[in-house]
Amino acid sequence: MTAFGHEERVQESGVVGHSYDTDDRLEDLDIYEALVNPHDGQGGAQRKGGGGAPAMMPMGNTGSASKASGFSGTGGAGVSGVSGAGYGSAGLGADALSGVGGTGSAGLGGLSSGLGTGGLGSGAGSSWTYPSYGTGAAGLPDPTLDQPGTTPTGGFTVPSVGTPPTTTVPTPTVPGTASGIPPIKVPSASSPGASGITVPSAGGAGGAASANTAGLGVRTVQASLEMLHKEAQHWDETARDFTANVANPVGNQSPSSVDFGMMTDAFSPYNDLLNRLKKWSTDAGAEFSAISDALQSASGGYKDTEDTNTAASTQVQTHSSIPV
């Protein structure tokens, strides 16, 4: 909790975020959350701490809105999340939070009634933005291999949803203390009457954050948890459909040369092709399932990270005091 009543949300430390090598940038730029894809070619480990935790929602928007003071200076229009800023601004008397997404209009549906719960909610239109290193993501990974540095054997490599290595999830500590999250250097005041946290955009537009981080190759990512889940379900249905209507009928074929009568010579090339088709169809069904699993894992990963962030922000709130 800041002196201004803003609740601070932090990224999962040890995963990404405000590490020592980005502090300077944070000094100059808005605080942002970076996505580090553990499945890119280098792996999270080489990124000094593994995959980053994406901001599942505009940080700073958790907690009690009723305690917020008019940070943004835009009046009581609500709480404006700020993509990539890391610290959102809480509006006065907000009843609703304007989410920060690609459009900034969708909003975090769950927040109006779920402040402090950290949930993206399941409401349609939920969205969140988070910056990511532009070269980091590598697609959807095999969930079972969702560790930095591993090479997926199948499925999309998942864009790092910030799923942290289980051993590196730290307990958020008060900035400036010994371990855990490195001290976050907050830019000097650039918002009138504010805590010194620069808010790239008070309007909740993700585009602003993108602009601020563009120089670092950071880009904004927008995803809908629900749609991601639906996408996974879609592929699962495709896998089942393909298996039932393609792989199985093909697999059931077992011709012999006798079946070709006088055209026996035609059997061999047909059988060769049939065997290839059997393998392809089996592989395809498995691949579609793997894609589904990867997407499902990704959506779960987002949710998990969000929950982790929520928990972390709660602890920060408890300990208070990010220096400003």
Site for other proteins in 116-175 (CB under 8 A): 130, 132-134, 136-140, 151-161
Q: Which residues pair with 218 in a beta bridge?
A: 133
Instruction: Compute how many other C-beta atoms are within 10 angstroms of the C-beta atom of residue 183.
Output: 16
Q: Cβ of residue 188: shortest distance to other proteins, in angstroms?
A: 30
- Alpha carbons within 13 angstroms on the beta-carbon side of residue 234 total 7
Q: Which is nearer to other proteins, 138 or 202 (CB)?
A: 138
Applying the rule CB under 8 A, the residues between 100 and 119 that interact with other proteins are: 102
Whole-angstrom Cα distance, residue 50 to residue 149? 9
Whole-angstrom Cα distance, residue 149 to residue 140? 14
Q: Cβ of residue 204: shortest distance to other proteins, in angstroms?
A: 17
Q: Which residues pair with 304 in a beta bridge?
A: none
Which of 241, 312, 267 minimizes the C-alpha distance to 16?
312
Applying the rule CB under 8 A, the residues between 217 and 276 that interact with other proteins are: 219-224, 227-228, 231, 234, 238, 241-242, 245-246, 249-250, 253, 255, 259-263, 265-266, 269-270, 273-274, 276
Give CA separation, 121 vs 58, 97, 187, in Å.
Answer: 13, 13, 31
Q: Cβ of residue 294: shortest distance to other proteins, in angstroms?
A: 8
Question: Helix, strand or coil for residue 270?
Answer: helix
x/- map, 44-83, other proteins, by CB under 8 A? ----------------------------------------
Q: Cβ of residue 130: shortest distance to other proteins, in angstroms?
A: 8
Q: Cβ of residue 219: shortest distance to other proteins, in angstroms?
A: 6
Q: Which is nearer to other proteins, 197 or 218 (CB)?
A: 218
Q: Which is nearer to other proteins, 53 or 194 (CB)?
A: 53
Whole-angstrom Cα distance, residue 107 to residue 97? 7
x/- map, 282-301, other proteins, by CB under 8 A? -xx-xxx-xx--xx--x---
Q: What are the backbone dihedrals phi and psi of residue 187, each rounded to the nearest 5 degrees, phi first?
A: -60, 155
Q: Per rule CB under 8 A, is residue 208 in the interface with other proteins? A: no
Q: Cβ of residue 101: shortest distance to other proteins, in angstroms?
A: 9
Which of 86, 87, 88 minimizes the C-alpha distance to 78?
88
Applying the rule CB under 8 A, the residues between 7 and 36 that interact with other proteins are: 35
The owner of tokens 């040890």 is 14
Q: Cβ of residue 169: shortest distance to other proteins, in angstroms?
A: 21
Number of residues in contact with other proteins, rule: CB under 8 A? 71
Question: Helix, strand or coil for residue 205?
Answer: strand
Which of 192, 216, 208 minimizes the C-alpha distance to 16?
216
Q: Cβ of residue 75: shortest distance to other proteins, in angstroms?
A: 31
- Alpha carbons within 13 angstroms on the beta-carbon side of residue 284 total 19
Q: Cβ of residue 248: shortest distance to other proteins, in angstroms?
A: 10
Whole-angstrom Cα distance, residue 301 to residue 27? 29
Q: Which is nearer to other proteins, 132 or 147 (CB)?
A: 132
The owner of tokens 């095999």 is 142
Instruction: Compute how many other C-beta atoms are within 10 angstroms of the C-beta atom of residue 272.
Output: 10
